[in-house]
Amino acid sequence: MTLAIVRVPVLTDNYAWLIHDPVSGETVAVDPGEAAPVQAAAAERGWTIDQVWTTHWHPDHIGGNAALQAAGARITGPAAEAAKIPTLDSTVGEGDTVRIGTEVAHVWHVPGHTAGHIAFHLAGADAIFTGDTLFALGCGRLFEGTPAEMFANMQRYATLPDTTQVYCGHEYTQSNGRFALTVEPDNAALAMRMTAVDAARAAGEATVPTTIALERATNPFLRATDAGEFAKLRESKDNFRG
């Protein structure tokens, strides 16, 4: 049986994720910005949250950790940010692994948004949890890192199979897409995608997860050819008001 992955809206525009293994009965919460909606989503499915996987220290990604820990969940997160995440029970970094049932997630160090940011790649489930690094049609702001670091992350994500599902931390797709259209106004795949995104948002629907194939075709940050081009894109996006 395959893993079940459930999107849980939290706070204003964040997404937490529940991963459930029907064989072992284990459930992981990824980046629970607040506890109550995540606990409610698990409870309505009869699941108990056993673990929390944290991608980075920002409060909108760890706000629910303490309550979930108090309810019995074990918290795992980036070793490089342990001083900023007091709830951590265990720490991981590049090359480490975590498990849900028999499924193994490989930890990637993907700095830039924060210095110690990590991602969780479940190759067996064709899924990666990217936090605030790779977004649908965009990438995270560089609060603690360099364009070269984030460009390297994008290049690494681009090596994943086309079918890899990308589970990111925010509903930013529409605003990201508006910027992307200014970069590639003649990209037919992007224009088609934005038509679908606008329709989904008008109907109150989510636009993630996405796929690596879709991001390769339409995400200007994943399509940048070098760190210099990436840096110009990131600066332009930071100043974009569309």
Mean per-residue pLDDT, 62-90:
98
Is 61 labelled as part of a ligand binding site?
A: yes
Q: What is the pLDDT of residue 241?
A: 86
20 is catalytic: no
Q: What is the pLDDT of residue 57?
A: 98
Of the candidates 21, 31, 50, 132, the residue annotated as catalytic is 132
Of the candidates 20, 109, 121, 170, the residue annotated as catalytic is 170
Q: What is the pLDDT of residue 1?
A: 54
Is 106 labelled as part of a ligand binding site?
A: no
60 is catalytic: yes
Mean per-residue pLDDT, 3-23:
98
Instruction: Give the DSSP letter of residue 170.
Output: B
Mean per-residue pLDDT, 125-143:
98
Judged by DSSP in three states, 74 sits in: strand
Is 20 labelled as part of a ligand binding site?
A: no
Mean per-residue pLDDT, 144-164:
98
| pLDDT tens, residue by residue, 40-74 | 999 999 999 999 999 999 999 999 999 999 999 99
Rounded Cα–Cα distance for residues 216 and 159 (Å): 10
What tokens does 74 get? 């074990």
Q: What is the pLDDT of residue 16?
A: 98
Q: What is the pLDDT of residue 242?
A: 74
Of the candidates 20, 31, 50, 61, the residue annotated as catalytic is 61
117 is catalytic: no
58 is catalytic: yes
For 118-139, give the DSSP string. EEEEEGGGTEEEEETSEETTEE
Of the candidates 58, 109, 117, 121, the residue annotated as catalytic is 58
CATH architecture of 4-239: 4-Layer Sandwich (3.60)
Please tell me the number of Cα atoms within 13 Å of 71 on its side-chain side: 19
Of the candidates 20, 31, 50, 113, the residue annotated as catalytic is 113
Is 117 labelled as part of a ligand binding site?
A: no
Rounded Cα–Cα distance for residues 22 and 210 (Å): 23
113 is catalytic: yes
What tokens does 107 get? 């930890």
Establish whether the linkage from the previous residue to 22 is cis, with ω within 30° of 0: no
pTM attached to this predicted model: 0.97
Is 109 labelled as part of a ligand binding site?
A: no
Domain residue ranges of the chain, discontinuous segments joined by +? 4-239
Mean per-residue pLDDT, 157-173:
98
Strands 27-30 and 97-100: unpaired
Mean per-residue pLDDT, 221-230:
97
As a whole number, the mean pLDDT across the chain is: 97
Task: Evaluate whether 127 touches 140 at the Cβ level (below 8 Å).
Answer: no
